[in-house]
Amino acid sequence: MADAVGAEHTFFSTCGSSLSVKSAMLAVAGPHEKLLVGRDAHKAVVSGLILSGIRPIWVTPQWDPDRHLAHPPSAEAFEAAFAEHPDAKGALVTTPTPYGTCSDLAAIAQVCHRRGRPLIVDEAWGAHLPFHPDLPTWAMDAGADVCVTSVHKMGSGLEQGSVFHLQGDLIEPEVLKSREDLLGTTSPSVLLYAALDGWRRQMVEHGRALYDDALALAASLRTRIAGIDGMHVHGRDDFCGPGRAADMDPLQIIVDITSLGTTGYRAATGCANTTRSTCICATTAGSAPS
């Protein structure tokens, strides 16, 4: 897997990325030590803080007041946090978000590495990113030290299948592996391992062609949905730019239904009550996506 994506070391987890991200956190900081953490972090990060005793220094995401959603924190926000807390042991950022919006990872990595600190990226929604040039830059190519991915999300692994990657010399591979051993099950599922490795092989042999097709399908679907009255498909113009995200995964299709006079919650309920769901991700201004 490391060869497939260009990482130096790769570890498989059969306990999901929840285990992987905790392992990465424990490899960077210990009890009462500081870690810069994007405030839009996953539940697994919060539970990792509780288990480890690490002190979080919260970094505020970039808030879109018009659409009521958060994009990942900026490099400037991490720079300011390090300036206030120079003793922080490293940083953790979540990107892409479930909306597909991405941070400027290269800039955040530079902020960390100027201080000799590692960057952990919770890239749970980005397992596919290394396998096609038209997708956003993935964490290792951007200079991150540890990248956590959920293959069951944007790959084709079974639930609980996760992979985390390591590069550079700021974290010893033996340390990261020992933290995974500490938290992982002693009875891992061979079926999950096989699914992870099968997906790796599929990506190496056919990934480019598969994502060629997926990207073409997503583009076609975006055009068709945008042609429906009351539907607006969010794209880079909506989500990317100064004060917003640095990039966007085109495979995440976010549909704004504000002009229909309903909410994302109601749309989701309507879809749930039909035999064929037509919702991808519906949002309205002022309501959470469904």
What residue ranges do the domains of the chain occupy?
2-192, 208-283
In whole numbers, what is the pLDDT of the chain averaged over residues? Answer: 90
The pLDDT of residue 282 is 47
pLDDT of residue 84: 98
Neighbours of 180 (CB within 10 A): 21
Topology of domain 2-192, per CATH? Aspartate Aminotransferase; domain 2 (3.40.640)
What DSSP state is assigned to residue 159? T
Q: How confident is the model at residue 82 (pLDDT cuts 50, 70, 90)?
A: very high
Question: pLDDT-derived band of residue 141, with 50, 70 and 90 as boundaries?
Answer: very high
Whole-number Cα distances in Å, 20 to 17, 61, 115, 121: 5, 22, 24, 11
**Which pLDDT belongs to residue 271?**
63
> Is the pLDDT reported for residue 269 higher than 90?
no
Closest CA to 103 of 66, 147, 168, 167: 147
pLDDT tens profile 224-242: 999 999 999 999 999 999 8
In tens, the pLDDT along 105-125 reads 999 999 999 999 999 999 999
- Identify the pLDDT of residue 68: 84
Q: Give the pLDDT confidence of 271-283 residue by residue, as tens digits.
A: 655 433 334 554 4
